[in-house]
């Protein structure tokens, strides 16, 4: 079944969409998928904003981690990118899939990246409302 058909079907039957890994569905493709979900929702009289938009992100956090496939970088890099995906692409949930099994990777994402991302998203939304 084609991606567009699956997105329409998912929206008719579900309340959320978990996109493929960021290694397979890039942000520009995510935007097109979002538009398809919105279109299907409107055609059914549903509010597009009611659907959860979940994105699985593969990578490694911190400057001490190797970069191979996925998103890699310091906490502020992650927060800026995830914040942009939240405000520009409408993604509202991120699932972290670390490239290594280090508990530090999970801790850094859960404590530092999440907090800074929330702050950046709030600042962007406040600035948008204020303009």
pLDDT digit of tens for each residue in the chain (131 aa)?
565 666 666 556 667 777 765 556 666 777 788 888 888 888 888 888 888 888 888 899 886 656 667 888 999 999 999 999 899 888 889 999 888 888 999 999 999 999 999 999 999 999 988 75
The answer for residues whose C-beta is within 8 angstroms of residue 50's C-beta and 6 or more apart is 15, 41
- DSSP E strand stretches across 22-70: 52-61
Phi, psi angles (nearest 5°) of residue 20: -65, 170
Q: Provide the token pair at 120.
A: 């950046």
Task: Report pTM.
Answer: 0.78
What is the rounded CA–CA span in Å between residue 105 and residue 91?
22
Whole-number pLDDT of residue 23:
58
What is the rounded CA–CA span in Å between residue 88 and residue 66?
28
Only one residue has tokens 């409302």, namely: 129
Whole-number pLDDT of residue 122:
95
Domains of the chain (ranges; CATH) run 3-130 (3.20.20.30)
The answer for residues whose C-beta is within 8 angstroms of residue 111's C-beta and 6 or more apart is none
Whole-number pLDDT of residue 108:
94
Q: Provide the token pair at 69.
A: 């496939």
């Amino acid at each position: 079944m084609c991606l567009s058909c699956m997105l329409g079907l998912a929206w008719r039957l579900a309340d959320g969409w978990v996109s493929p890994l960021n290694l397979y569905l890039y942000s520009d493709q995510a935007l097109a998928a979002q538009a398809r979900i919105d279109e299907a929702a409107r055609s059914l009289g549903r509010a597009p904003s009611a659907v959860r938009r979940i994105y699985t992100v593969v990578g490694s956090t911190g400057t001490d981690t190797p970069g191979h496939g996925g998103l890699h970088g310091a906490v502020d890099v992650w927060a800026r990118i995830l914040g942009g995906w939240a405000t520009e692409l409408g993604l509202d949930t991120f699932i972290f899939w670390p490239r290594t099994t280090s508990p530090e990777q999970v801790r850094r994402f859960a404590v530092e990246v999440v907090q800074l991302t929330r702050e950046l998203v709030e600042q962007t939304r406040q600035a948008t409302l204020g303009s």
